[in-house]
Amino acid sequence: MWRVAEGGIVVLTGAGISAESGLGTFRDPGGLWTRYRLEDVATPEGFARNPALVHEFYNARRAQARAARPNAAHAALARLERALGPALLIVTQNVDALHEAAGASRVLHMHGQLDGALCAACGHRWPAPEAMAIEDPCPACGSAATRPDVVWFGEYPAHMDEIGAALAGAELFVSIGTSGNVWPAAGFAAEARARGARTLELNLEPSDGANVFHEARHGPASQLVPAWVDEVLQTRQRPAPRPR
Ligand code: OAD
Ligand code: ZN
């Protein structure tokens, strides 16, 4: 179980951090949910109705995500992790692997991952090939019930116990590139704040829950995140004053 060390930082990321890597967000103009009905492609009911359409949607997103490169914001968080180790936990709503591609490893994917396949019959998980179909037999039970290992609306997000423990122990909670529309992630800032954390938002524009943050900075993640990481490292690495 991953916890954040006492006085640590919990970072929550959303689609906005990957936008400058060329991956579209959901709710911005032209975003995925303006072009697809989420009921069709991001619910268990949609998958039951038309599994081929759902696989087509995620196969395309997987191909895009695998071709994408991390940007300066992902790189800055990986740099922060190298400096802070267990005092940093990255919780992401993103299903891409750009945090890991930038070198971060303490990353919890609460909405699953495009790089995973999941058997809807037995729950077995395995690495996703580039393109999946429901007919692909499960390596464990042989069922033709292959689905992407992503969390759909109406399903329970992953790692909630670890996230809850981390929020309770965090000194600082930072939300990056998320619109604050989707629960339970939308409630994390208030939860961390109620447990004594300072809360900071780094986003292109004020999010839906903007009033729960002690501080907000608005602009592109590729600029805001490296600047914030520099600040944290300057403060935390400042040597203790020498006694005279
Ligand atoms: P949204 O598309 O809802 O929000 C993206 C946020 O990023 C918006 O507030 C934008 O203003 C901001 N943004 C856009 N470009 C940015 C940039 N270059 N730098 C900084 N911020 C930028 O995406 P999420 O909040 O991640 O869930 O969406 C949450 C969940 O809703 C997703 O995980 C997905 C979706 O339905 C599931 O599929 C279960
Ligand atoms: Zn199976």
pLDDT of 184-225, one tens digit each? 999 999 999 999 999 999 999 999 989 999 999 999 999 999
Same domain? For 182 and 221 the reply is yes
Q: Are 44 and 152 in contact (CB under 8 A)?
A: yes
Same domain? For 163 and 107 the reply is yes
Give the tens place of pLDDT for each residue, 103-150.
999 999 999 999 999 999 999 999 999 999 999 999 999 999 999 999
User: Which residues does residue 176 pair with via DSSP β-bridges, in sequence order?
Assistant: 13, 202
**C-alpha 133 to ligand 2 mean position (Å):** 14
Size (the chain), residues? 244
Q: Give how far Cα 68 sits from Cα of 58, 79, 177, Å.
A: 15, 19, 17
Which residue is closest in CA terms to ligand 1's atom 15?
Answer: 16
Same domain? For 120 and 206 the reply is no
Q: Residue 238 — very low, low, confident or very high, per pLDDT cuts 50/70/90? A: low
**C-alpha 37 to ligand 2 mean position (Å):** 28
The residue type at 224: L
Q: 12 lies in which domain range?
A: 1-22+70-111+154-244
- The arithmetic mean of pLDDT across residues 152-163, rounded, is 97
Cα(14)–Cα(12) distance, integer angstroms: 7
Q: What per-residue confidence (pLDDT) applies to 4?
A: 74
Does ligand 1 have an atom closer than 6 angstroms to the CB of 204? yes
Q: Residue 5 — very low, low, confident or very high, per pLDDT cuts 50/70/90? A: confident
Atom of ligand 1 nearest to the CA of 202: 20
Cα(152)–Cα(42) distance, integer angstroms: 5
CATH of the domain at 127: 3.30.1600.10
Same domain? For 86 and 197 the reply is yes
Pocket test for ligand 1, best of 27, 37, 153 (most atoms within 8 A of CB): 27
Domain tally for the chain?
2
- Among residues of the chain, what percentage have pLDDT more than 70? 95
Atom of ligand 1 nearest to the CA of 31: 2
Give the tens place of pLDDT for each residue, 10-26.
999 999 999 999 999 99
| Tally of CB atoms within 10 A around 218 | 13
The answer to whether residue 109 is catalytic is no
**C-alpha 58 to ligand 2 mean position (Å):** 20
The closest ligand to the CA of 142 turns out to be 2
pTM, full prediction: 0.96
Does ligand 1 have an atom closer than 6 angstroms to the CB of 223? no
- The arithmetic mean of pLDDT across residues 59-63, rounded, is 97
Confidence check: pLDDT of 1 > 70: no
Give the tens place of pLDDT for each residue, 24-48.
999 999 999 999 999 999 999 999 9
Same domain? For 142 and 236 the reply is no
